[in-house]
Amino acid sequence: MAGPDGRTAKDEQLDRDRVDPRGENLTTDQGVRVDDTDNSLQAGERGPTLMEDFHFREKITSFDQERIPERVVHARGAGAYGYFEVTDPLTDFTRADFLCDTSLRTPVFVRFSTVAGSRGSADTVRDVRGFAVKFYTREGNFDLVGNNMPVFFIQDAIKFPDFVHAVKPEPHNEIPQAASAHDTLWDFVQLQPETMHMMMWLMSDRALPRSYRMMQGFGVHTFRLVTADGRATFVKFHWKPKLGTHSLVWDEVQKIAGKDADFNRRDLWDCIEAGAYPEWELGVQLVPEEDEFAYDVDLLDPTKIIPEERVPVRPVGRLVLDRNPENFFAETEQVAFHLGNVVPGIDFSNDPLLQGRLFSYLDTQLIRLGGPNFPQLPVNRPVAPVANNQRDGYHQTRVHRGETSYAPNSIGNGEPTVAGPEGGAYVHYQERVDGNKIRKRSESFKDHFSQATLFWNSMADWEREHIVAAFRFELGKVTRPHIREGVLRHLSQVHGDLARRVAEGLGTEAPPSAPVHEESSPALSQANAPREDIATRKVAILAADGSDAVSLRTVKQRLSAAGALPEVLAAHAGTVTGAGGESIPVDRAMSTMASVLYDAVLVPGGDKAVDTLTSDGLAVHYVAEAYKHGKAVGALGAGRLLLSAAGLRDVAYAENGVRDDRGVVTQGEAGDASEDFCSTFASAIAAHRHWDRDVDAVPA
């Protein structure tokens, strides 16, 4: 599916759809050239506008109707094209050829999103992130519409409108935007304990991804893989980011929401433009049909995981995003995902959340994209050929030839004909179903707390601290005491320690807690994410007139060589003059950026420069804030003085040689940055954050 130049069938198809008005004369939609688009047609210079001004009317009408309804949920998003390659074929489990044939490069479009906020809301809010992948396979489109958390808030799709109404801004005043910290969400939670496992994820750092490129993805539900001879295996899909799973912190995300509301979107765009292509590994957890009841959780319950330690995640392929869309509206806004888009070899389970989604996505596209022909939009169109008797409707762009649009027919040779399984047709898995029609939740869905406890047990100390702080913040914003009490009652069933610590922050007592199990799943902790790579990490180098240009250049080159993105910041744009009279180009003025937009801060030596920086409150703040957020902070020679000016008092600095004290890396000697300094600083950045610091005493 990829040409010799790596271009996919989807790329070729999209090329044919593109229009480029550059270099053309301005015309109306009817192709008539226009002589003036600045002045409407009037009866006299100061007279009224005339109805016959067709250009004016067409231009304004088109503008008036530019907007389509934003998505009810996941309105805020960013997308990219790329490809998927299977590395370990699943031939024994499925007939889907994109999962079996290692020579295929299947084109994809991926859209990441937040859930609750409107289309214009900030990227960095506490929320679940959507991770929706459209595979344009040779056998039709397959959509894997997942999230960055492996479970969901509710067990049955019929509760989805209730949940979404509760988490969205409150209906009387439309406040708060893109935030779960309000009464209605927590009221729902206290009355619906099945939310508790997901609430643990939502209150954890998983809800604050550093980058879309650094988050996991999950298909959430149990699906089925099916072979050509009709044998099925349960499957759960996992995406693992090559760069590891990393998060921001709460104080940081709140500030970034103001400093750069497009933080995650920009990050995705910039990295793809720079050729640093985001990559994930696709993994599967496979459960034979006969083991359906072998676990203490029901595989059909979307509020549960199967711990990786019990069923390992088998890596099977890789996803690479290597091209930004050309037009946000046409592609990212109009892309239409649907769980019902499956290809032969992939089938559903009876998960009641999944079953309901099978209805909802198609339904929503019909209203959002205005009728049944949205699969013809370029971003939605399969690369597999489409032929059927569906006709007409709003926005029909195809000109169907022939006399017949029905089956069976004799006039048109009976075409298009059905293929049958040998011809590659989709055949539904023949599951035997037998039961009474009832509205009743299965008894096997009843345990709402054990896996919330599992999650808590699996966290590192710093992750627990962040979870406690999140619950305190969110419940602290809840105005009705009975809602807070209701949630605390649930928390006491998750873990007594959690409930007690949250209650303390709310100035109240936790209800008595029952004993809980002690199992944990190390795979759930971000503390166990890979931490070797500094690729695409952003480093702020603080400079002023008199900075040691030699050491600055050395560190910058070393970091860049490892794929990091160091930038020189100074009080003003342009250049500063180094200690030896060198001209140092400034990438950005300090005031246009902020410490929270970087992964690390470095202060080169140079007495005069450090003097200037210590008396610049903004520079001091860059260092203090980076330290408080657990980031790597580096200083060479006199640069150490800026660190002390920033209040980093309990830190041990190098007197000579190099010292790394909990991610604060210093070199005693003035002069060029040593090899040791560069590599120690790089490791401190790769560690992502350093939570063993006492950050409370540092003002920022």
Residue ranges binding ligand HDD (CB under 6 A): 71-74, 77, 111, 113, 130, 132, 145-147, 152, 157, 160, 220, 302, 335, 337, 353, 356-357, 360-361, 364
Strands (E), 400-501: none
Q: Which is nearer to ligand HDD, 132 or 510 (CB)?
A: 132
C-alpha to C-alpha distance for 185 and 153, rounded to whole angstroms: 11
**Cβ closer to ligand HDD: 356 or 505?**
356
Whole-angstrom CA distances from 193 to 258, 282, 307, 393 are: 34, 31, 21, 44
CB 531 within 8 A of CB 686: yes
Q: Which is nearer to ligand HDD, 10 or 640 (CB)?
A: 10
Output the smallest distance, CB 266 to ligand HDD, in A.
18
Q: Which is nearer to ligand HDD, 40 or 360 (CB)?
A: 360
Angle, alpha carbons 226-229-233 (nearest 5°)? 30
Q: Which uninterrupted H or E stretch holds 142? A: strand 140-147
> What are the helix and strand counts (H, E) for the chain?
17, 19
CA–CA distance, 611 with 443 (Å, rounded to integer) = 69
Residue closer to ligand HDD, measured from CB, 73 or 272: 73
In sequence order, the 6+-apart residues with CB closer than 8 A to the CB of 378 are 13, 14, 17, 330, 331
**Min dist. Cβ of residue 196 to ligand HDD (A):** 16
CB of 167 to ligand HDD, least distance (A): 12
Instruction: Give me the residue whose beta carbon is nearest to ligand HDD.
Output: 130
In the chain, the amino acid numbered 354 is: L
Residues classed as catalytic: 74, 147
Instruction: Show the DSSP H helices in 101-249 as ranges.
Output: 160-167, 183-191, 196-203
Q: Which residues sit opposite 632 in a β-bridge?
A: 600
Q: Judge whether 88 and 317 are in contact, CB under 8 Å.
A: yes
Neighbours of 375 (CB within 10 A): 16
Q: Least distance from C-beta 299 to ligand HDD, angstroms?
A: 14
394, with CB counted inside 10 A (0-12, 13-18, 19+), is exposed
**Token match 């009976």: residue?**
414
Give me the least distance between CB of 358 and ligand HDD, in Å please: 9
Cβ 151 to ligand HDD shortest distance, Å = 8
Residue 78 vs 584, nearer CB to ligand HDD: 78
- 369 or 475: CB nearest ligand HDD: 369
**What is the smallest separation between the CB atom of 361 and ligand HDD, expressed in angstroms?**
5
